[in-house]
Amino acid sequence: MTDTATPPVSRTIDARGSFCPGPLMELIRAIREGRSGDVISVWSADRGSKTDIPKWVEKAGHRLVGVYERDGYDEIVVEKIR
Amino acid sequence: MDEDVLSLVVFSGTDDKLQAAAVLTAGAAALERPVRLFLQYWGLDAFRKDRIDRDHGTSPEAGPEGRARMLALRTAGQATWVETLRQAKEIGQVEIQACSLSMDLLGLEPEDLDPLVDGVEGVAAFFVAAGGGQILFI
């Protein structure tokens, strides 16, 4: 996947200092505070996030835009649907 | 609906086991499962408001190496179990109850407990609230 697949990000959460389940907790908080259509990018160095966050997104009814491997961390981009 | 409830019996009072319980709580809460923690014995002791932020040590199986790894993760910025439980309560439906027998055992009154604890209940109330859902003992 490339950057061109990513729609404009409305908010970036740098959770690289957090451990499981911190990045997910921070994403949930941002989703609650945001509005439908917001695109939230989470940066996480926790290995669990790239599987955990997509599973949560599916269950919670939001949209996974993509999971991108960056230098030393993962970027997970989520669109708030409801 | 009943089967969605996850109940954790928190018996152990060391930081490693409390951390594991907090992570399980946060994960289930994130998935919108109601979570109930029933604090017994040393698990309850760790929630005393005068001790909750103290170092509660690690369980014997951790050994010196496990303890060093726990401390390294803490230094690297891992949220404490107290912080993780606070976050879980913010994002989900999490109820923390103290076991009444353990309150007697430790000579505690409700005001001795950290505000994270919602109340005191007996074992029958615990099982009624647990319903048909899973119960984990930590």
Per residue in A37-50, pLDDT (tens digit) is 999 999 999 999 99
The verdict on residue A59 lying in a domain is yes
Whole-prediction pTM: 0.90
Q: What is the Cα–Cα distance from A75 to B40, expressed in whole angstroms?
A: 40
Q: Which CATH number fits domain B2-137: 3.40.1260.10, 3.40.50.620, 3.40.50.2300, 3.40.50.10210?
A: 3.40.1260.10
Q: What is the count of structural domains for chain A?
A: 1
What's the average model confidence in pLDDT over A25-34?
95
Q: What is the Cα–Cα distance from A35 to B12, expressed in whole angstroms?
A: 41
Residue B77 sits at φ, ψ, to 5 deg, of 105, 15
- pLDDT tens column, B71-88: 999 999 999 999 999 999
The answer to whether A34 faces chain B, any CB pair under 8 Å, is no
Domain ranges of chain B: 2-137
Read off the pLDDT band of A6 (50, 70, 90): low
Q: Which residue of A has its CA nearest to B84?
A: A22
Mutate: best of A19, A31, A32, A59, partner B, most B CBs <10 A: A19
Q: Catalytic: which of A1, A5, A7, A20?
A: A20
What's the average model confidence in pLDDT over B103-109?
97
**DSSP symbol at A10:** S
Does the active-site annotation cover A20? Answer: yes
Q: What is the Cα–Cα distance from A48 to B41, expressed in whole angstroms?
A: 32
**Among the partner residues B27, B79, B91, nearest to A29 by beta-carbon distance:** B91
For a pLDDT cut of 70, what percent of chain A falls above it?
A: 93
The verdict on residue A10 lying in a domain is yes
Q: What is the pLDDT of residue B105?
A: 97
**By a Cβ cutoff of 8 Å, what residues of chain B touch chain A?**
23, 26-27, 30-32, 73, 76-79, 84, 87-88, 90-91
Q: What is the Cα–Cα distance from B20 to B13, expressed in whole angstroms?
A: 11
Which structural domain, as residue segments, surrounds residue A18? 6-79
Look at residue B50 and tell me whether its pLDDT is greater than 60: yes
- Chain length of chain A: 82
Q: What is the pLDDT of residue B1?
A: 52
What's the average model confidence in pLDDT over B46-75?
95
ipTM for the complex shown: 0.82
Closest approach of chain B CAs to the CA of A17, in angstroms?
A: 6
Look at residue B28 and tell me whether its pLDDT is greater than 60: yes
The verdict on residue A1 lying in a domain is no
Find where tokens 């014997």 sit.
B60
The answer to whether A56 faces chain B, any CB pair under 8 Å, is yes
